[in-house]
């Protein structure tokens, strides 16, 4: 297998042997895969590849190999590395962690790749983080086959009512429920859900969007906590568990 200059982003990297790196990358046409970059940490007259092999930088990667782990053979920048800092950096790290945890290897997701690139660009602009994250999460769920309607009751098929209350069910999506404070079965106001269905992720419905999508993603992430979420809570001790 030989792939030439594939659009890609690095999701995670770790040292390997004396001077190499193992890269977890997300490619436009080949999905998530692992590459070994031989000698990437070794300095040479032409400079180190390490300067290019950074997260949040659009790259063109060439690689080859027959085994599960391919060998990186060429790397070129496809644009400037996005300058992310503070909460926007933690949010971008969260996106990377979702992709590493939830994507199967060698499963192409070109639509998700575009959504990821767009989310990074929005975060780099240092605006509100809610809308970029929520839009990406919804595309991710749809690409993985876990999408559900934000405007219809998953059992009856009837449209949600603004005055109603709804719970999330793993097999049916949103179903009619009752208001309450049971953390094991959160309730969501119909008005908030309908706002989300219209793409309104900022403002009054933002808390409901964050809580709902966190509940849904937790079903698929398992029990291991997200490191990016822990880092955010350390930065904002009073932010609570919803972030």
Q: Cβ atoms within 10 A of the Cβ of 153, count?
A: 19
* Residue 203 pLDDT: 86
State pLDDT tens for residues 59-112: 999 999 988 999 999 999 999 889 899 999 999 999 999 999 999 999 999 999
Residue 25 has pLDDT above 90, yes or no: yes
Residue 44 has pLDDT above 90, yes or no: no
pLDDT top residue among 224 and 209: 209
In angstroms, how far is the first alpha carbon of the chain from the final one?
41
Q: Which H/E stretch holds residue 77?
A: strand 70-77
Q: Which H/E stretch holds residue 195?
A: helix 190-197
Residue 124 has pLDDT above 80, yes or no: yes
What lies within 8 Å, CB to CB, of 133 at 6+ separation is 91, 94, 95, 119
Phi/psi at 195 (5° precision):
-65, -40
Q: Cβ atoms within 10 A of the Cβ of 174, count?
A: 23
Residue 183 has pLDDT above 80, yes or no: no
For range 185-204, the mean pLDDT: 94
Measured distance CA(206)–CA(7) in Å, rounded: 32
* Domains in the chain: ranges and CATH: 2-77 (2.40.50.140), 86-235 (1.20.1440.120)
Contact 123, 49 (CB under 8 A): no
Residue 19 has pLDDT above 70, yes or no: yes
| Radius of gyration of the chain, Cα coordinates, nearest whole angstrom | 20
Does the CA dihedral 99-104-106-110 come out positive or negative? negative
% of the chain with per-residue pLDDT over 90: 74
pTM exceeds 0.85, yes or no? yes
For range 32-38, the mean pLDDT: 95
Which pLDDT band holds residue 48 (cuts at 50, 70, 90)? low
SS3 109: coil
% of the chain with per-residue pLDDT over 70: 93
For range 17-45, the mean pLDDT: 90
SS3 145: coil
Contact 33, 53 (CB under 8 A): no
* Residue 242 pLDDT: 45
What lies within 8 Å, CB to CB, of 41 at 6+ separation is 15, 19, 20, 21, 48, 50
For range 17-34, the mean pLDDT: 94
Measured distance CA(26)–CA(167) in Å, rounded: 33
User: What order do you get walking across the sheet with 173-176 strand by strand?
Assistant: 173-176, 165-169, 188-189
């Amino acid at each position: 297998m030989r792939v030439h200059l594939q659009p890609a982003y690095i999701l995670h990297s770790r040292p390997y042997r004396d001077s190499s790196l193992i890269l977890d990358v997300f490619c436009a046409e080949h999905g998530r895969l692992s590459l070994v970059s031989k000698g990437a940490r070794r300095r040479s007259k032409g400079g180190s590849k390490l300067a290019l092999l950074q997260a949040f930088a659009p790259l063109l990667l060439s690689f080859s190999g027959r085994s599960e782990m391919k060998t990186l053979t060429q790397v070129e920048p496809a644009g400037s590395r996005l300058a992310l800092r503070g909460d926007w950096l933690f949010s971008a790290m969260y996106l990377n962690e979702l992709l590493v945890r939830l994507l199967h290897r060698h499963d192409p997701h070109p639509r998700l790749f575009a959504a990821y690139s767009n989310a990074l660009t929005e975060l780099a602009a240092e605006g509100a983080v809610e809308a970029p994250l929520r839009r990406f999460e919804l595309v991710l769920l749809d690409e993985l086959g876990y999408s559900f309607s934000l405007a219809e009751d998953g059992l009856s098929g009837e449209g949600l009512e603004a005055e109603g209350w709804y719970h999330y069910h793993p097999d049916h999506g949103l179903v009619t429920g009752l208001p309450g404070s049971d953390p094991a079965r959160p309730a969501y106001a119909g008005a908030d859900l309908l706002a989300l269905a219209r793409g309104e992720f900022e403002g009054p419905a933002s808390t409901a969007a964050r809580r709902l999508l966190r509940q849904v993603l937790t079903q698929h992430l398992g029990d291991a906590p997200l490191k990016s979420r822990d880092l955010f809570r350390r930065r904002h001790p009073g932010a609570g568990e919803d972030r």
